[in-house]
Amino acid sequence: MNKKDKDTEQLILQAAQKVFTEKGLAGARMQDIADKAGFNKALVHYYFTSKAKLFELIFEQEFKAFFFDLVGIVSSDLPLFEKIERIIEHDIDKMTKFPGLPNFVLNEISRNPEVILKQFKKIPVENVLGGFQKQINSEIKKGTIRKISSEQLLINIQSLCIFPFLARPMIKGLMRMDEKAFLAMMQKRKSTVLEFILGAIKA
């Protein structure tokens, strides 16, 4: 594939990401994607034969970007408190880059559960959480943190980081914020969430 073809594919994928985020698989049309990319629909069909195939590529791309990077951090050899800080930074930075991802995933789970759950099965959850629990247990034995499970700790972090992006329209409306102010608040939230989590688990 030459550079022109690669560039065209990338422009279509970027446009598809925006359209699928806004409308989901069911609501999106190839014409919407073509319009967003600035191409005609025939060209989009030439590069990507179907809407379903294009959606699968976009979802897998964004899914991997978020969850597999997260798995890499949780599975790393970082000290626990530094690992928690990295997870928080990862979540907020990824949501800032693709703020529609949480709603996108939740909507598609309800619309197309078999497609989404197939992606989740690729994550070695038991191994990842098992290793994380061993690290947590080691800190509990040292007396540095209170007793907590890896599942509960990870859910607490994810909830505090991701919920504001799920509730973004409500938060912006209630707090009279534009998008720039909201994203600035999310950057400040990194230290707030870290302080809250560490305060909750430290012995």
Read off the pTM: 0.76
Which residue in 202, 109, 103 sits closest to 153, CA to CA?
202
Residue 116 pLDDT greater than 70, yes or no:
no
What does the pLDDT average to over 90-111? 79
DSSP structural state of residue 39 = S
Q: Which domains are seen in the chain, by residue range?
A: 1-49 (1.10.10.60), 59-201 (1.10.357.10)
pLDDT at 139: 97
pLDDT at 5: 73
pLDDT at 1: 59
pLDDT at 30: 92
Q: Which two tokens stand for residue 185?
A: 């608040």
pLDDT tens profile 47-84: 998 888 888 787 777 777 788 889 899 999 999 999 99
pLDDT at 163: 93
Cβ atoms of 12 and 47 closer than 8 Å: yes
The DSSP annotation for 125-148 comes to HHHHHHHHHHHHHHHHHHTSB---
* Secondary structure of residue 75 in the 3-state scheme: coil
Q: Which two tokens stand for residue 56?
A: 């699968």
Distance CA 193, CA 163 (A): 12
